[in-house]
Amino acid sequence: MKKIELHLHLEGAAPPGFIRGLAAEKGVDLSGIFDARGHYAYSGFDHFLRVYEAATGVLETPRDYARLLAEVLERSAEEGVIYTELFVSPEFCGGGDLAAWRDYLAAMAEVAARMRGQGIDSRGLVTCIRHFGPDRARASARCAAETAGDWITGFGMGGAEAMGRATDFAWSFDCAREAGLGLTCHAGEWGGPDSIRQALSLGVSRLGHGVRAIDDPALIRDLAEAGTVLEVCPGSNIALGIWPDWPAHPIARLAEAGVKVTVSTDDPPFFHTSMRREYDRLAEAFGWGETEFRQINLWAAEAAFCDADTRARLR
């Protein structure tokens, strides 16, 4: 089955072996972030973010990011993904400096163009990081606005949802919108309905996760009526302990209530998942088959931050 993925963090998709290889090349000791089997090791979400940022620390140059993107897109293509949107961060790529960001972006866009010829299309969504605060988010938004165009087509926010209010970041979202970028925001992963409503007030068409809307029937109705698309990452939610297992996950209940859900992996090696595994578990837990998977991919095609020709090819 051909798949569309809308929510994949580039650094979070780095295979541990790739990060270990770079660390060895650079003489950096990263042994503390891996378990005995060589997987990323963390306990809880805050620790996950620290391990993620430590792994990201060895990605230092545009060439490192180009190598990473090539590896990630190759793996996605092997999973049957034909189009993917990746969160990329000017914070990690040059510390929010526009000239440096342009160099990283040029290296990544070249890889993306090459991989398009090999059957996997992609777009980059600039992400700011909530726990780094509104000032650093503004620098990311400026980088996004200045480079909006061929490959950069969206803007979003990840990071610790418990830190600050989404509305503290309104300037950055306004700046990105004025540059013509599509908008999405992580909310309703750790935070409840109030956090989701704040994110919606930024004018996003999509939510990263959004699944805790399940606690609020009025919000579910609002999401369904507005056609807000959820970038649901069930394997991530289960690995991080938000729901105990697949049958308990609300994705099927949200879809039955008329909410447009899509399926992504978030940070696949951290959560021991892949797009095939997500689809297999959804089939097992909810009896989903071709009809449901075709529907979620149609919703993903509709919601993708891409041009009309690309969208037509994805449908």
Residues labelled catalytic: 189
Name the token pair of 67: 């190598």
Least gap, CB of 212 to ligand ADE (angstroms): 12
Distance from C-alpha of 42 to C-alpha of 92, rounded to nearest angstrom: 21
Nearest 10 degrees: CA dihedral of 17, 88, 120, 188?
A: 100
At residue 261, what are phi and psi to the nearest 5 degrees? Answer: -105, 150
Measured from the CB atom, is 121 or 266 closer to ligand ADE? 266
Distance from C-alpha of 129 to C-alpha of 91, rounded to nearest angstrom: 8
* Contact status, residue 19 vs residue 30, Cβ threshold 8 Å: yes
Which one of Zn ion, ligand ADE, none is in contact with 189 (Cβ closer than 5 to 8 A by kind)? Answer: ligand ADE
Looking up tokens 């993904």 gives 81
Name the token pair of 178: 């004025």
Apex CA 224: angle with CA 223 and CA 225, to 5°? 95
Nearest 10 degrees: CA dihedral of 65, 68, 70, 75?
A: -150
Apex CA 306: angle with CA 147 and CA 231, to 5°? 100
Distance from C-alpha of 128 to C-alpha of 143, rounded to nearest angstrom: 10
Q: What DSSP state is assigned to residue 288?
A: -
Q: What DSSP state is assigned to residue 266?
A: B
* Contact status, residue 25 vs residue 57, Cβ threshold 8 Å: no
Which one of Zn ion, ligand ADE, none is in contact with 75 (Cβ closer than 5 to 8 A by kind)? Answer: none
Measured from the CB atom, is 190 or 293 closer to ligand ADE? 190
Measured from the CB atom, is 91 or 267 closer to ligand ADE? 267
Report in angstroms the alpha-carbon separations of 245 from 216, 235, 250. Answer: 21, 9, 11
* Contact status, residue 57 vs residue 28, Cβ threshold 8 Å: yes
Measured from the CB atom, is 14 or 23 closer to Zn ion? 14
Q: What mask, x for binding Zn ion by CB under 5 A, covers residues 253 to 282?
A: -------------x----------------
At residue 229, what are phi and psi to the nearest 5 degrees? Answer: -95, 130
Least gap, CB of 264 to Zn ion (angstroms): 8
Measured from the CB atom, is 58 or 232 closer to Zn ion? 232
Measured from the CB atom, is 23 or 185 closer to Zn ion? 185
Which one of ligand ADE, Zn ion, none is in contact with 159 (Cβ closer than 5 to 8 A by kind)? Answer: ligand ADE
Q: What mask, x for binding Zn ion by CB under 5 A, covers residues 26 to 65?
A: ----------------------------------------
- The side-by-side arrangement of strands in the sheet containing 3-9 is 3-9, 81-88, 121-129, 152-158, 182-187, 206-209, 229-232, 260-263
Binding site for ligand ADE (CB under 6 A): 9, 12, 52, 158-159, 186, 189, 236, 266-267
Kindly list the residues in this chain that would bind Zn ion in the complex (CB under 5 A).
Answer: 266
